[in-house]
Amino acid sequence: MTLYAYRAQVYRMNNELDKALGDLDHVISDIGEGQPKILRQAYTQRAIIKRQQGDLVGSRQDFEMGAKLGNPVARNIAAAENPYAKMCNQVMMEVMKRERAKALDASQYEKES
């Protein structure tokens, strides 16, 4: 990580979020090009701050970038917040619930026979 990224982390811990965002913007736009390890951390940190500030769209975009660059925290959060993934998860849970109910009904029928 760069000194700007470290300083942004300190700013974030001290709740100086605007200063942290400034450093992270600098890392992302000026320093991080060609350095995926630095970029994935910077995008993830910036996403956390944007979420704290209520910028859910910006936060999701930054988590997605962090995920694309290989940050596991960003990957998990981006997947959990993806509206299509949520919908797919709900459908899958409903299908699994129905299949379990069918299996239970079938096993009870076999016991009664």
Residue ranges per structural domain of the chain: 3-81, 84-113
Asked if 80 contacts 72 with a C-beta cutoff of 8 angstroms, the reply is no
Q: What is the CATH number of domain 3-81?
A: 1.25.40
State if pTM tops 0.85. Answer: no
Residue 109 has pLDDT above 80, yes or no: no
**Residue with token string 């849970």:** 93
So what's the pLDDT on residue 1? 66
Sign of CA dihedral 6, 11, 15, 19: negative
Q: Which helix (H) or strand (E) covers residue 38, if one does?
A: helix 36-52
Long-range contacts: 28-35, Cβ < 8 Å, 24+? Answer: 31/2, 31/4, 32/2
Distance in angstroms between the alpha carbons of the first and the last residue of the chain: 68
pLDDT in tens, 27-47: 999 987 789 999 999 999 999
The pair of structure tokens assigned to 52 is 């704290």
How far is it, in rounded angstroms, from Cα 69 to Cα 83? 21
pLDDT band at residue 113 under the 50/70/90 scheme = low
Q: Which helix (H) or strand (E) covers residue 57, if one does?
A: helix 56-68
pLDDT band at residue 49 under the 50/70/90 scheme = very high
So what's the pLDDT on residue 88? 78
Question: How crowded is residue 65: how many other Cβ atoms within 10 Å of its Cβ?
Answer: 20
